[in-house]
Amino acid sequence: MEGNVPTPPPPPAPPVVPQAGGFVRQPPEKAGGLAIAALILSIVGLVCCCLTAPSIVGLVLGLVERGRIARGESSQKGAGMVKAAIILGIIGVSIGVIYWVINIVLQIMGTSSQYFYYSS
């Protein structure tokens, strides 16, 4: 009957002793780098309305970071920055497209959008 002896239960776990302050301090969460880059590029694209490339890149980075936040791969701290970057990116791209369409139409009509001419 020696083969049918049940094994004894494992010993109990030692009690958890809190740290000196009672809580373990964790570093604060930071906004993701893509959120910051998206916001900066969207602002640059909006300020320089004739440059649509920064607005497009800021918009794309904002959409990528929004997806990462939704999947839990990035911090929630950047959610406001991402939302602002997407909105500013859309506005910047819209203004840039309108600027270039007007500029091309004026060039086709033979008029320039530049007001100052230098003659020699």
Spatial separation of the C-alpha atoms in residues 59 and 3, rounded to whole Å: 70
d(CA 90, CA 63): 11
Structure pTM?
0.66
**pLDDT attached to residue 66:** 93
The per-residue DSSP string of 40-99 comes to: HHHHHHHHSTT--HHHHHHHHHHHHHHHHHHHTSS-GGGHHHHHHHHHHHHHHHHHHHHH
Average pLDDT for runs of 10 along the chain of length 120: 72 68 64 90 87 92 93 87 95 91 85 56
Residue 25, pLDDT score: 61
